[in-house]
Structures are given as C-alpha cells and as structure tokens.
Amino acid sequence: MQPFTFHNPTRILFGPGLCDQAGAEIRPFSDRVLLVTGTGSAKRTGAYDRVRRSLEAAGVRVRDLEGVVSNPRLSKVREGIEATRAEALTAVVALGGGSVMDTAKAVAAGAVLDEGDVWDCFTRTREIAGALPVFTVPTLAASGSEMNGFMVITNEETGHKLAAGSEHLYPRLSILDPVLTCSVPPDYTAYGGADAVCHLLEPYFNGSDPDTPLQDRLAEALIQTLLEATEAAVARPGDVAARSTLMWGATLALNGLTRAGIGEHFFAVHMIEHALSALFDVPHGAGLAALLPGWMSWRAAESADKVAQLGRRLWNLSGGTRREEARQTIAALRDWLRRVGCPTSLSELGISAGDHGRIAENAALQAGIWGVDALYTPEVVAAVLAQCQE
C-alpha cells in the first residue's frame, strides 16, 4: 500500500424525507444563496418546492439559477457567477444531478476569483484558491459529486469538456434523500449505475501499487452491490431500498475511500468519455458504458490477472487460462450493461470509426493537463476506440 492522506470533510445526512431539512442545515452558514437546478425535473417532482420552502422558512433568501443542462455548459456557470457577485450571495446550493452539482461548484469557485476566468481553473492556468460554501441535494445517483472535490464543465466555445478538482470544492453538507431519485427514468438510472461502477473499476485496474487487497475488496463489494441495486431500480423505479443502496453506493464510489493507498492512478475511460460528451453530447454514463468493455479488452492485454480476479470474485468464473477468464469477465460486464439498458459500443451511440481521430485529438487536451499525454497519445486513444466500435 502507498502512503496517502485521506480527508473528506463533507457531512452527509442520509434518509427519506430529509430534503426538508435543507433550510435548517444551511442557515447557520448563509442567509443568501444561489439555488442551482436543471431543466425541470426538480419542479415536476416537487423537490424544488420542498427545498425552496425549507430554505425560506429558515430565513434564507433564494436566488435561482435554472436550466443547467446535462453535460453542463460554461456559459451557465458564468451566468451564475455574475448573479452571485451582483447580489452578494454567500453560498451555492445544488438541487439536481451531477451536472447541477458541478455547475454549483464552478460558480462557487469562480465567484471568489480575484481576476481571470473560471475556465482557467480547468486548464490549470489558474489555481482554485477558494470557493463559496457549496451544499448539495442530489436527485440522481451517479457522479459522486455530492462527496468529492471534482467538477466537470463543457466549454461550448472551444468544444472541450474538462475536469478540475480542489479541496475547496467538497460540499460542506450533502443531503441524500433517496426518495428524490425514484423519478429518475430507467435509462438515466442505468447510466448512473454504470458511471458509479466505472468510478470503481478504473482505479481498480489503474492503481500503480499491485498489492492493495483491502482496496480491491472494498471496490469489489461496492461494484457487486451497485450491479444488483441498479438492476433492481431499473426494474422497480419506486423501490426505495434499491434507490437507497444505489445512492449511497454511488457516493462511496468516488469519495476517495477506495482509492486511498492505491498509488498513482488516473481516469482514462473518463478522459476519453469527456471527449465523446464534448463532441457528441452523449449522456456521461452512456458514453462510459460504450467504452468500458472495449477499454477492458485493451487493458486485459497487460492486466489479464486483475481482470480475471474481478470475474472470479464477482461472477464466480473459473477454469481456463487467465486470458480466457478475463474474456469471460468482460463478457459478463457487457451482459449486465445490456440488461440494464446501456449501450456497449460506440456504434450504438451513432459514432463511427471515421470519428475516432477527432475524439482522440479532443482527449489530448485533458491528457496534457493530467500529464498522461505520453501514455495516452492520440494514437493510443484511437487504438482503444477501435476496440469499442462494435
């Protein structure tokens, strides 16, 4: 195991009905907030009215930032920063999925910048030196943004989607009310499950330390549980028990717990998927699902043992060579993705082999920022994409 620092400062309140406590919980920090929401689901389900009422009842003045789209845009972040500054707001509250939470974080970071543009924080030409306090009430289980310091934003002018992270971006508090996720339609429920599983699988295969038995088993337990809970939630959207498991599992999948001690690692599939989303505006989890089996096949050339370990422990696969076990493991994952309704190839997303070069070039910006451009050159990314095409 490698040396590490683990510090996750986000306080979690978990339970059905707890979104009504947003006001009482947030009031000690702020009496003037920006409330960030998406394109209408929170209003349709009544979650918006409940959270807004709770804030106002506690004496918190609310300024809305509505209309955050999936694969959230920089222009909306800038609109939020302007409003926050103009109205001297002192905190940002997100009510929605990962897109809404990430927009809230970017507004919180951008609002306190002395100079320059918030996009500089994504290209790493400017440090994230602080942020307004962020609070989240997630309505979709997927990104893990509710308990981490990451945000992912699309710059529609340059056509790039980039991730950034900072200790200042951990939400102060996140209220996880699983009932709010019961209205997520089956497709986005499945994409969310695939996203959370991918957050666990990537470090599982990419950690630089080969001897991390505890981290492996934590990840395997979470993956197995997420596979089951996603299937249950897709089959029975109103199953609060399944929604609860899915929600807490997705949060734990990217809150730093399973990655502590695994050494150097980075999110290659996410890096490539962000290029897909930037260019084709595909839902994040669908893009990951289309890439995962192909990337694992590419990866299994070097890491057949680890892929086979996953198959033995999750699906009780046994017999044959390590390579054969790895092949069966990838087939089992593909079966699961199909069963819950995810695409498992780029062609299912309408992407053709002729697009690979453009995707690989787009991913090169993030690879350079992450310092992995020598490992994941555009040629390597194109080779991975070729494995994912059909």
Instruction: Give the separation between CA 4 and CA 30, rounded to whole angstroms.
Output: 33
The amino acid that residue 62 corresponds to is V
From residue 166, alpha-carbon distances to 38, 115, 131, 171, 365 in Å are 23, 18, 9, 11, 19
In the complex, minimum distance from the CB of residue 101 to Zn ion, in angstroms, rounded to a whole number: 12
Instruction: Tell me the window of 52-60, 120-128, 192-200, 212-220 that interacts with Zn ion (CB under 5 A).
Output: 192-200
Nearest distance, CB of residue 189 and Zn ion, angstroms? 15
Q: What distance in Å separates the CA atoms of residue 244 and residue 141, rounded to the nearest whole number? A: 9
| 192 forms part of the interface with ligand NZQ (CB under 6 A) | yes
Contact 80, 107 (CB under 8 A): yes
CB nearer to ligand NZQ: give 40 or 59.
40
Three-class secondary structure of residue 341 per DSSP:
coil
Which residue's CB is nearer to ligand NZQ, number 250 or number 300?
A: 250
- Binding mask of the shown chain, residues 47 to 86, with x at each position contacting ligand NZQ by CB under 6 A: -----------------------xxx--------------
Q: Given the structure tokens 């934003």, which residue do they identify?
A: 153
Instruction: Kindly tell me which residue out of 195, 216, 231, 325 binds Zn ion, with binding defined by CB under 5 A.
Output: 195
Q: Which 281-310 positions form the footprint of ligand NZQ (CB under 6 A)?
A: 284-285
Q: Which of residues 138-157 bind ligand NZQ (CB under 6 A)?
A: 139-140, 142-145, 148, 150-152
97 binds ligand NZQ (CB under 6 A): yes
The answer to whether 94 and 100 have CB atoms below 8 angstroms apart is: yes
Say how far apart CA 171 and CA 174 lie, in whole Å: 7
The least distance separating ligand NZQ from the CB of residue 197, rounded to whole angstroms, comes to 11
Nearer to ligand NZQ, 41 or 297 (CB): 41
Considering CB distances under 5 to 8 angstroms, the limit depending on partner class, which of Zn ion, ligand NZQ, none binds residue 343?
A: none
In the complex, minimum distance from the CB of residue 384 to ligand NZQ, in angstroms, rounded to a whole number: 18
Alpha-carbon span 368 to 190, nearest angstrom: 31
CA–CA distances in Å: residue 302 to residues 136, 143, 200: 40, 28, 19
Name the burial class of residue 388, with classes exposed (0-12), middle (13-18) and buried (19+) by CB atoms within 10 angstroms of its CB: buried
Q: According to the binding rule CB under 6 A, does residue 100 interact with ligand NZQ? A: yes
Interface residues with ligand NZQ (CB under 6 A)?
A: 38-42, 45, 70-72, 96-100, 102, 139-140, 142-145, 148, 150-152, 180-181, 183-184, 188, 192, 195, 254, 270, 284-285
Interface residues with Zn ion (CB under 5 A)?
A: 195
